[in-house]
Amino acid sequence: MRVDRPWGWYEHLLSGEGYKVKRLLVFKGQQLSLQRHQHRSESWTVASGDGLLLCNNEWVEAHPGVMLTIPIGAVHRARGGQCDLVIIEVQHGDDLREEDIERLQDDYGRVIA
């Protein structure tokens, strides 16, 4: 099922005990909120497109094949570049609910004070 967001959309592809796999599409020029998770780590693999990936104040250029490991509690975000950015996200942890998100900055007003 596809879930629309202001920055693009994501869809759940697969899940099992302790893991979940999603596909994210970040529209060109848009970005995810600056965020962190308390109960899961994530691994991102760029499938197509370009942009930037951020993890703990380090930016990485995003292009197909680039991988980024995001530990539990790490501050991170993805930004679309000149074209849409497609990321395969693998989550690992004991609580993989969408509610496990702390937004630190958000272009769309979704930060909870």
Using DSSP bridges, classify how beta strands 85-93 and 67-70 pair: parallel, antiparallel or unpaired. unpaired
List the domains of the chain with CATH numbers.
2-95 (2.60.120.10)
**pLDDT (0 to 100) of residue 1:** 87
**pLDDT (0 to 100) of residue 96:** 97
Distance CA 34, CA 106 (A): 6
- Is 86 or 110 the better-scoring residue by pLDDT? 86
Distances (CA, A) of 89 to 5, 7, 21, 112: 16, 16, 6, 24
**Residue 57 in this model has a pLDDT that exceeds 60:** yes
pTM (2 d.p.)? 0.94
Q: What is the rounded average pLDDT of the residues 78-86?
A: 98
Of 107, 112, 113, 109, which is closest to residue 32 (Cα–Cα)?
A: 107
Q: What is the rounded average pLDDT of the residues 48-63?
A: 98
